[in-house]
Structure 1
Amino acid sequence: MKKIIFIGLTSLLLGACKSSLLETTPYDRIGEEQMWQTQDQAILGVNAIYNNLRDENVYREYYMLDCLSPYAYGYDRFEQEMAGTTTTLSNTYANKWRELYKGVQRANDALAHIPNMAAVEETLKQRLIGEARFLRALHYFNLLDFYGGVPLYEEPVLYNEALKPRNTVEEVRAFIATDLTEAINVLPESYGASEFGRATKGAAIALRGKLALYAEDWEAAAADFKTVMDMGYSLHPKYNELFRAETERNAEVIFSIQNVPVQGMGENMSFRLGTRATRGSCWTNGVPSPTLIDSYEMLDGSAFNWDAIIPGYSTMSVAERDALFRSPDVIKKAYENRDPRLQQTIITPYAQYMGANNVNYILAWPFVSDVSPSFHIRHNWNANALYLWRKFVSVGDESQLREHGPIDFPVIRLADVLLMFAEARNELLGAPDAEVLAAINRVRIRAGIPELQNNNAGLPTFVDSKESMRQRIRHERAIELATEGVSFSDVRRWKIAPELCNRPILEFTTRVLKTRVFKDRDYLWPIPQAEMDQNDQLTQNLGW
């Protein structure tokens, strides 16, 4: 019996999902000659590609990438790379490469067989081919983002035959664009409710636009995003409902990773981002940084300034600030009258959070007790003064399994597309026009903050130049997409990571926890050493 072996992995294809994208049935027990025979098996093979997206090295823990950006901090493998070591994250580098190529291999397997399957009805066949092409493109997009030019494989390959040299960045980008264009030609615009989560025409166009945006092909990017904006998607009225299981399937979602509260089929965001108040023993692996919290505007659109809230704050010593944070009535003022997304995204000092057993906890400083009568939020770092995530963390008893929650993870949503369109069009022009303002303002209006404008220079919302709009768009992306994993890619593609990431990591009292390091080499991750040993045609990224 011939067995397909993954690039970079010496095991069989595992974990295929049925048409729900969630019910798993491994097909490694089916011989290759028996696998691609029926229509159900064709669907099973494509669902296996979707299932790979749920691996922790693909999208299951994509949100933790914020810990490599200026806007969050973690203490596990995702953050340690910023310490400047070369070996701490070797498994993370290797695992991401391996799992992304596993998805490529599964897509190649489907694309090698489905076109010749007489048992598959033609309309369904074309749709499945389109889905496989989109999913292969998505896996290669992530390989390109993290590793640069990588070897292109478009047919199934045995591990010991994966000996190609790296293709150039331009070649990989062109390959992805071709896959997406082919997918766009055959994918439907939508599915019935039972098929929610499958790749659509809108998802493929949006990803092609993102590919162009990352290449600074502003015209092509803006055109694709404008097409998606005109396809009938709409912003969900309430920002915080985007990240709740009951309201996650809405007209803003363009493509998302599907999760259900079943062992092995759910997300672990509450486990990684939550606290011991969340579900008894969660880990607080990632926390928001003061850089992010201080970025949330005031309700009138002006920048937040500590000295405007607490006179003399900027000249206080750490000890004085530490004492200040022990006074609820004083410190609460710093988080009032701010962009509403602050309280919808972050648990700020003295804010409440409904934890397990529907108990209301409070983020008090210093921590005293997590039981009655205090009910303070206790996280994994008891001795530190830390902001905590509210976004993506289960509320009350909505999720009984701390590592297998029900919340879908958004990969592409309309707000992201609007901001990418605003960015691309702004870069095309000498100054922002009405279309740029309209796109970013749709996001701001939904958030509940004033629109940007170019008429009244006396207002804090005034913006009249390409550079000032560029900074506004970057700011808006950091706020709107916090803990969705894209900020690390954003600061790298904008080439501002050293400027923003080489700085101390602080508690909310401004006590220094450690100093983060971002080197030029960190723009790309290293090719795993095991792959270099296996394939002497590979060359390493600079600095590694």
Structure 2
Amino acid sequence: MKRIIRNIAAILVGMTFVLGYSSCDVDLLDTTPSSSISSANVWESPILARAAVMGVYNELYEKFSKNCTGQTLGIPYDAFSSVMDIDMNWKNSCFVISGSCTPSTSAVSTHYKFYYTIIYRANDVINNIDNVPEMDDEEKAKLKAECKFLRAWAYFYLNVLWKGVPIYTENVPNSEATKARSSESEVWNLIISDLTDCINEVNLPNKYAKGNSDYGRITKGAAYALRGQVYQFLEDYTKALADFEAIEPMGYSLYSPSDGEKGNDDFFQLFKPANEQCDEMIFSIQCVETTDMGNPRGINYGNRCTGGSAWNNYLPNPAFVEMFECADGSDFNWEKYCQGWDSMNPTERVVFFLRDGLESGNGHWGTTDATSDYKSLYDNMVAYGADMTKYLDQGNEERIRKAYEDRDPRLMQSIITPYSTYEGNQSGIGNHTWTLRWPYILDAGEPYDIRTDTNSKFYYLWRKYVTENDECTTRWVYSEDIILCRYAEILLRRAECLNELGRTDEAIIYVNMIRKRAGHVLLNDPTYPATSVKGQEDMRQRIRKEFYVELGGEDSMFFNELRWGTWYDRKFKDNSSNQVGALNSNGLMQIWGETTYKHLSVGEHIKVWPIPAKEREMNPNLTQNAGWQD
């Protein structure tokens, strides 16, 4: 599939016919053929018809691979969630948190256009591929099913973000694209119908095995997974559960070669190119080492010691990091590791994160005696407001490391935490081991601190999806596939449905499967009292926390927060466990809770995005969502 996509991309350069854009925008989405190959000609050739199908898939790269930070469509959806925040240099590229979103905001139109482009391309295939000569009926049926999935996928996101949109199942001229918005329920029904057709299509396989030339194409497993999510949004947990259960016998399973042994790194290895086609993967974007077709998260999630020199555009939020349990299954509490934390303000807490040797002046970097420099750093921290009465000159680093090492193993496999190491690659140095320390001193020689785009601040950094050593040395061409759905997520959704149906004991089984893979303590382990589940509501919160620690950074949590009705409060209100001395914990925060910038909201109506003003100008039948004024 990767090879096919790369080759088809070259073909698509000369095929601007039906692979054009949605009929909903006259200026931006002109569907008039501009090459010698007309739409009708496409369906006279099996080769061109197959390329048209690949054109639907190819559009996914516009969102997940082609764009980087600064190009709005490429912002990971989890940057909209409470999981992570955008670096100060790029925050204005995110209209959701800028406090200035209007129906005329170009980013809103960009997202709207993206999904309708997929719909337009899929419609063309669905309505025309039966006419292709010299193509087997079985292949036609399979390709049509794939495009019905992709159309359903696009309508799914439109419906979640805009709550009811115009339904087009056949492409019409721009002048006739004047349908009113269908209701949210009507859109859900179309999505369910399309996905049901996929599931019922005998020519669509349940899954593809690793190495299959069609790996990456749509499967029944993906269709069941998406339809189950629709039923979850509808709170029809019985039907959702049935769909998630149907995936089990298809051959999907958790990647777990170590079988849950304590101290294993299976979770970390899951996100490596070597395992991108393991049986856990249900739907993923096939990335290759080619410009605009690589995985940009290795760069945007990385740091200046990544892949030659990457950017830490997206930074894990401290409140998210605090959700990872202690090793005994208890909730994390800073006071357990840093006594006095609860009564201190954030700047005073800086003391707990300082490197050793500042008070005595021990240590050096480069070839010079650094005694005066270390003392200067000490004085700077005093001036900053750190409570240096709690500083341990030769034990500060060890104390703070315990706060992270004594946790759910997925924490340090997902996040580069203070005083943990990272195997990177930096121009001029090559492969090396760097350490996240504060304050930063030097990365090009001893002590080899991790350098970032934000050296004057101290943030958590991503480890998940970030390349190591020389896995990637050319920007934007990291070959690790972008995961859109994996089996662990299905197990969590299955657990959630069971719990909502009052079958809490059964739900525990599926959560424990995931915790075991990670090497974490299991729920209801009598050795660890904190793991005892105390009824349905307690389990509901445990399942939600499990979603965060398992899937954070994978573009799932924004939509889960919307579904749970928790997104607005988690994104725009104070959520960190900074206790008494907390500053505004809404926004990008340094590790100790000091706010760099706050998220700004235009109001609670941002929960549902505005219909783009330009779309309403072209189609007067489009009504606007509540709270938005054109």
Scaled to the shorter chain, the TM-score interval is over 0.9
Distance change in 2, residues 1:360/1:13 (3 Å): farther
Q: Matches of 1:319 and 1:176 in 2, distance apart?
A: 50
> Residues of 2 paired with 1:62 and 1:207: CA distance?
22
Offset of 1:407 from its aligned partner?
A: 1.1
Matching residue of 1:426: 499
User: Could you say which residue in structure 1 is the equivalent of 2:569?
Assistant: 499
Over 3 Å counting, the alpha-carbon distance change for 1:88 and 1:296 in structure 2 is: farther
| Corresponding position: 1:70 with 2:79 | no
Query: How many residues are aligned here?
Result: 530
Aligned to 1:22: none
- Tell me the equivalent position of 1:290: 318
Residue 340 of structure 1 aligns to which amino acid in structure 2?
P
Counterpart in the other structure of 1:260? 288
Q: Residue 382 of structure 1: CA displacement?
A: 2.0
1:484 aligns with 2:554: yes
Letter in 1 for 2:41: Q
Aligned to 1:536, what secondary structure does the other structure show?
Answer: coil
Root-mean-square deviation over aligned CA pairs: 2.4
Aligned to 1:539: 623
Aligned to 1:169: 184
**473 and 63 in structure 1: CA distance in 2 versus 1, 3 angstrom threshold:** farther
Q: How far is 1:260 from its partner?
A: 0.4
Instruction: Specify which of 184, 187, 198 is matched with residue 217 of structure 2.
Output: 198
Instruction: Tell me the alpha carbon deviations over residues 100-159 of structure 1, each in whole angstroms, 9 at most, x when there is no partner.
Output: 100000000101111222321011111111111111111111111211101100012333
**C-alpha separation between the residues in 1 aligned to 2:282 and 2:180?**
34
Give 1:87 deviation, angstroms: 4.7
* Amino acid corresponding to residue 504 of structure 2 in structure 1: P
Partner residue, 1:530: 614
| Residue of structure 1 in register with 2:598 after alignment | 515
What's the offset of the Cα at 1:271?
2.0
1:158 to 173, 181, 185: 173
Give, in angstroms, the shift of residue 59 of structure 1.
Answer: 9.4
Among 402, 413, 422, the residue aligned to 2:475: 402
| Counterpart contact for 2:104–2:613, Cα < 8 Å | no
| Alignment of 1:236 onto 2:236 | no
Query: Alpha-carbon deviation of 1:12?
Result: 6.2
Distance 1:167 1:31 in 2: 31
Could you tell me which residue of structure 2 aligns to residue 343 of structure 1?
Answer: 412
Q: What is the identity, as a one-letter code, of the residue corresponding to 1:202?
A: G
What CA deviation, in whole Å up to 9, does each residue of 1:206-236 have, x standing for no partner?
1100111111111110110011123221100
Q: Secondary structure at the match of 1:195?
A: coil
| TM-fit CA distance, 1:319 | 3.0
Deviation at 1:165, TM superposition (A): 0.9
- What amino acid is aligned across from residue 437 of structure 1 in structure 2? I
**Equivalent pair of 1:214/1:493 in contact (CA under 8 Å):** yes
| Residue 117 (structure 1) aligned with residue 129 (structure 2) | no
Distance 2:332 2:16 in 1: 62
Query: Could you tell me whether the CA contact under 8 Å between 1:365 and 1:385 is conserved in 2?
Result: yes
Q: TM-score, normalised by structure 1?
A: 0.92
Q: In the TM superposition, what whole-angstrom CA distance separates every residue of 1:21-58 from its partner, at most 9, and x where no partner exists?
A: xxxxx996522122111222222111111111111279
Select between 238-247 and 387-396 the one with higher mean Cα deviation: 238-247
Asked whether the equivalents of residues 134 and 183 of structure 1 are also in contact (C-alpha less than 8 Å), the reply is yes
Unaligned 5+ runs, structure 1: 15-25
Tell me whether 190-199 or 205-214 shows the greater mean CA deviation. Answer: 190-199
Determine if the alignment matches structure 1 residue 446 to structure 2 residue 474.
Answer: no
TM-score, with length taken from structure 2: 0.80
Q: Secondary structure at the match of 1:542?
A: coil
Aligned residue type for 1:172: V
1:419-440 CA distance string (max 9 Å, x none): 01111121111x512x211111
For 1:59 and 1:143, the matched residues in 2 are separated by 21
Give the distance between the partners of 1:92 and 1:271, measured in 2 at CA.
22
Structure 2: segments with no counterpart, 5+ residues:
1-14, 68-72, 257-265, 355-395, 575-585
Give SS of 1:260's match: coil
How much has 1:333 moved relative to structure 2?
A: 1.5
Asked if 1 retains the 8 angstrom alpha-carbon contact of 2:64 and 2:482, the reply is no
What amino acid maps onto 1:235 in structure 2?
Answer: L
1:62-101 matched pairs, under 5 angstroms: 64-75=76-87, 76=90, 77=92, 79-87=94-102, 90-101=105-116
Q: What letter matches 1:509 in structure 2?
A: W
In structure 2, the partner of 1:19 is: none
Q: Larger deviation: 469-478 or 374-383?
A: 374-383
Does 1:134 find its partner at 2:134? no
- Answer whether contact 1:57 1:96 (CA < 8 A) is retained: no
Percent of aligned pairs sharing the same letter? 35
Paired with 1:221 and 1:44, the residues of 2 have a C-alpha distance of 34
Q: CA deviation at 1:298?
A: 1.3
Secondary structure of the residue aligned to 2:315 is: strand
Q: Is the 8 A contact 1:266 1:406 kept in 2?
A: yes
Amino acid of the structure 2 residue aligned with 1:515:
K
Mapped pair 1:54 → 2:73: no
Quick check: which has more Rg, 1 or 2? 2
